[in-house]
Chain A
Amino acid sequence: MNEISPFPFEAENHFLFTDSDTAHTSGPEGLTPGRLGIWILISSEIVIFAGILGSFILFRTAHPEWAEESRHLNLIAGSLNTLILLFSNFFMMKAADAVNNGENNKVKLLLGLTIALGTAFLAVKGYEYSMEFQRGEFPSTNNFWSFYFLMTGIHALHILGGLTALSLLWNRARKGTLGPTQGRVALTGLYWSFVELVWIFLFPLLYLMK
């Protein structure tokens, strides 16, 4: 007789991130509920960001003078944040691999690095905001700055959400209780990659577009 798992959702996800052919067998097209849920979340996030980015592109093309405003942005800080997110996502991917290999100490270390870099991203963004406020650039200054603070603010909130999920996972890894929920590391990695994906478009739109 089959024993019923007290963690049916996690138990399915546990097998999701192995490389075996049996990995994707529980939902539509073999997607597990967790992975399906994350893709639905990402899909809805695309709608949100596409709307904002699309509006910005249309306004930006109608207002070439915004190029002058974007020169006030700190390119070094923006570039540094790009590098920080690239490293952060790289460590996240490695953490998901370490989960598959059953290397708990490595998972703990890599999740910690991902969290540290995510926090560094927010710190750099906070520094940028403080410099802009000191120069008198606020969301109410003009449409460019409204878009800038809206887009980077929403993105920063997504980083914060990702950091919360990562912290919960890191705490479990630290206590050695990741076990049945280890599949969530790769799910969080999927979300974290999406956050990086958004920044890949935000950075040139705000800092590099002429």
Chain B
Amino acid sequence: MNTKSKFSNHNVIFILLAVLAFFSVGTTFLSLSPGLNNWYVFGIAAIMASLVLIQYMDLKSEGFLVYAFFIVPVVLFAILVVLVGLASPNGPRIF
């Protein structure tokens, strides 16, 4: 990728992030059920995070080692959440 296209990529990603942030805040003006609201805002957050990771942090051009740095703590985190969730009296209850 040349510098010029990278430059315009940053502009596009920034606009996308701003629009997504706007939609995210917009949920407060909608009367969604708590469950739906939470899936909606975290869905948007996941998309925003992916954009930052892939484009700004350039994860797309990294090798396996960097992916491992990222995946291992995330997997550990997922295990932690599931185990603690299972151990809670009401069972796993996310949202």
Q: Which A residues are closer than 8 A to B by beta carbons?
A: 19, 28-31, 36, 39-40, 42-44, 46-47, 50-51, 54, 57-58, 61-62, 64, 67, 75, 79, 82-83, 86-87, 89-90, 93-94, 97, 100-101, 189-190, 193-194, 196-197, 200-201, 203-204, 208-210
Contact = CB atoms under 8 A, between A and B. Distances in A.
Contact of B70 (A31, A46, A200, A201): A46
A36 B65 CA distance: 9
Given A43-B69, A47-B76, A54-B81, A64 B34 contact: yes
Given A31-B66, A97-B10, A86 B17 contact: yes
Contact of A58 (B10, B52, B63, B85): B85
Contacts of B73: 43-44, 46-47, 50
Interface string B69-95: 110111011001100110010100111
Contacts of A203: 24, 45
B70 A75 contact: no
B49 A90 contact: no
Given A43-B73, A208-B37, 8 more contacts: A39-B66, A54-B84, A79-B21, A86-B18, A97-B6, A200-B45, A200-B48, A210-B34
B94 A197 contact: no
B94 to A, nearest CB: 6
* Most chain B beta carbons < 10 A, residue from A42, A67, A204: A204
5 contacts: A75-B25, A93-B56, A100-B3, A196-B52, A197-B53
B45 A94 contact: no
A107 B1 CA distance: 21
B67 to A, nearest CB: 10
Contacts of A57: 81, 94
A194 B57 contact: yes
A204 B88 contact: no
Contacts of A64: 34
A154 to B, nearest CB: 16
A19 B70 contact: no
